[in-house]
Structure 1
């Protein structure tokens, strides 16, 4: 499940999808590269909320970062509570290094 997609919750689509213009600006800012340390990927990119919306995070550009789908899944999987199959929480990626 990607942060920049609509999430099926059983009661209709999530209305908090990241606007396309914001997504484009975040991708450009991050030079269309995964921002996970050591990851060189430039394909299959997704937008990740650094502070989850469930914890008060917003779709503001400073709360968003670019991750490839593999790193995005790993980021979320690291934070799943033991025994959880469906609950999704966020891990904060390391601070972005200036380029």
Structure 2
């Protein structure tokens, strides 16, 4: 996990712990305290779900970008190989033509 993600998670955890401790030590009825804890837990759960969804979206976007980059690189390599293969074939055909011409000269002699 990146340092920004770790820092954010640490801040989120610290806020949740601080909120729960603050509520527990507040001079309220038990039912009010339990409701506050439940409300705070629900709010933290929503924040965590939002953070997880954001992280998932960023990772998916990064994977998509990298996939396209990789596909482009592979396509470029294939194209380069194709051009080089054409060059090799052309060179071999020229060499073959040259050898055939020399062979005709030897056969005449």
User: TM-score, normalized by length of structure 2?
Assistant: 0.21
Greater RCO, CA 8 A, separation 6+: 1
Q: Please identify which structure carries the higher strand content.
A: 1
User: TM-score, normalized by length of structure 1?
Assistant: 0.23
Q: Please identify which structure carries the higher helix content.
A: 2
Point out the structure with max Rg over C-alpha: 2
